[in-house]
């Protein structure tokens, strides 16, 4: 009976192992190749490294210094941190008003936010680019902070409004009875109660900005000194073509932080990314 069951289950296990292999092996190949000497990468498949192991950090030295990815890593951090904090904070203020302050046009305003959820970034590129050019902001970090704040707001307002609206009314009313003003209620009660929702959202926004190519490419105007990792890596693909030793090392550098975040905060990452994609 047991054996029969195991045999019947065998295809299920086989299918799952196969899928996991297809999902992981390309990443392993990238990591192995990035650690092999450049001539070896060009001459033989990375899997042959099992038979002829020879590893080096030269590729990483080259991409971090000569290809400027060290600088780009810093740029990505400089772009992503404020571009995560600003929209979340402004969204939380707005979500608080939408959830707990009755006013005329509240439903209409929230409807507008829901409409804006689906607006593609492409629709805004030309006019925003002209605004930035007029203000002398193209090619600067503040341009990306401002743009990502605008683009991140609809989702953040939407999710936080729904979360705030679910907080217990008694708790908020009790605070009001104790004489707490709107600001005090918000900072002392609403925000602390919303840490899990804010954390998931922050991870979503951070990864979104970290992984963004289009917005950075459009508003930074191809200046290498401000390019984040995605832009620098895409430039390397253009200039190096099949230069796999450097490309694999570069790609891995760009993946380091997301991989670390995924490894340590997996539950929040899944929750944040699912909520972000599903908008629920």
Partner 1 sequence: MSPVLPAALALAAAAGAPAVSIAYILAAEFVVGRLSPLRRTAARPWVWLAPALAFLSVFLVYPTLETILLSLRDATGTRWVGAANYLYAFRSGEALVALWNTLAWLVVFTALVVAGGLGVAALAERVRYDAAVRAVVFLPMALSFTAAGVIWKFVYAFRPAGAPQIGLLNAALTAAFRHFTPQAWLVEAPRNTLCLIAVGLWVWMGFAAAVFAAALRAVPREMLEAARVDGAGEWRVFARIVLPALGPTTAAVATAMVITALKVFDVVYVMTSGNYDTDVLANRMYQALFVDQHLGRAGALAVILLAATVPVMLLNLRRLRGEEAVR
Of positions 189, 193, 199, 234, contacts partner 1 by CB under 8 A = 234
Note whether 39 binds partner 1 by CB under 8 A. no
Note whether 15 binds partner 1 by CB under 8 A. yes
Of positions 35, 49, 128, 202, contacts partner 1 by CB under 8 A = 128
Nearest residue to 223 via CA among 122, 80, 125, 79: 79
Note whether 266 binds partner 1 by CB under 8 A. yes
Least distance to partner 1 from the beta carbon of 79, Å?
A: 8
Note whether 210 binds partner 1 by CB under 8 A. yes
Phi and psi at residue 242, to the nearest 5°: -100, 25
- CB nearer partner 1, residue 1 or residue 122: 122
Least distance to partner 1 from the beta carbon of 83, Å?
A: 10
Distance of CA 174 to the CA centre of its chain: 38
Tell me the window of 28-36, 59-67, 169-177, 193-201 that interacts with partner 1 (CB under 8 A): 28-36
The answer to whether 194 touches 163, Cβ cutoff 8 Å, is yes
Question: For the chain, first and last CA: distance in Å?
Answer: 44
Note whether 115 binds partner 1 by CB under 8 A. yes
Owner of token pair 């990314």: 273
- Span 243-262, contacts to partner 1 by CB under 8 A: 244, 247-248, 250-251, 254-255, 258-259, 261-262
Taking the C-alpha atoms of residue 258 and residue 203, their distance in angstroms, rounded to an integer, is 10
- Span 59-88, contacts to partner 1 by CB under 8 A: 71, 74-75, 77-79, 81-82, 85-87
- CB nearer partner 1, residue 56 or residue 232: 232
The answer to whether 229 touches 115, Cβ cutoff 8 Å, is no
Interface mask toward partner 1 for 130-159; x: CB under 8 A = -x---------xx--xxx-xxx-xx--x--
Question: Quick check: helix, strand or coil at residue 55?
Answer: coil
Least distance to partner 1 from the beta carbon of 130, Å?
A: 8
Least distance to partner 1 from the beta carbon of 216, Å?
A: 10
The answer to whether 59 touches 189, Cβ cutoff 8 Å, is no
Type and span of the H or E element at 242: none
DSSP code of residue 66: T
Nearest residue to 194 via CA among 88, 43, 85: 88
């Amino acid at each position: 009976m047991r054996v029969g069951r195991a045999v019947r289950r065998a295809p299920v296990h086989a299918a799952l192992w196969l899928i996991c292999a297809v999902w992981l092996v390309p990443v392993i190949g990238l990591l192995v190749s990035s650690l092999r000497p450049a001539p070896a990468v060009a001459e033989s498949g990375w899997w042959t490294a099992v038979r002829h192991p020879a590893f080096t950090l030269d590729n990483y030295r080259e991409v971090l210094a000569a290809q400027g990815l060290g600088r780009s890593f810093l740029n990505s951090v400089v772009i992503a941190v404020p571009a995560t904090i600003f929209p979340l904070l402004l969204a939380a203020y707005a979500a608080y008003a939408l959830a707990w302050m009755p006013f005329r046009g509240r439903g209409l305003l929230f409807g507008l936010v829901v409409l804006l959820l689906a607006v593609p970034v492409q629709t805004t590129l030309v006019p925003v680019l002209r605004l930035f050019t007029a203000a002398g902001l193209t090619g600067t970090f503040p341009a990306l902070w401002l743009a990502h704040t605008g683009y991140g707001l609809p989702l953040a307002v939407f999710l936080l409004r729904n979360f705030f609206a679910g907080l217990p009314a008694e708790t908020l009313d009790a605070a009001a009875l104790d004489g707490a003003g709107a600001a005090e209620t918000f900072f002392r009660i609403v925000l602390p109660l919303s840490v899990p929702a804010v954390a998931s959202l922050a991870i979503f926004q951070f990864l979104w900005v970290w992984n963004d190519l289009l917005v950075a490419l459009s508003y930074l105007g191809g200046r290498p000194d401000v390019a984040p990792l995605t832009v620098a890596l895409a430039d390397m693909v253009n200039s190096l073509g099949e230069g796999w030793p450097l490309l694999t090392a570069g790609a891995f550098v760009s993946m380091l932080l997301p991989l670390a975040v995924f490894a340590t905060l997996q539950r929040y990452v899944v929750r944040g990314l699912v909520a972000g994609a599903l908008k629920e």
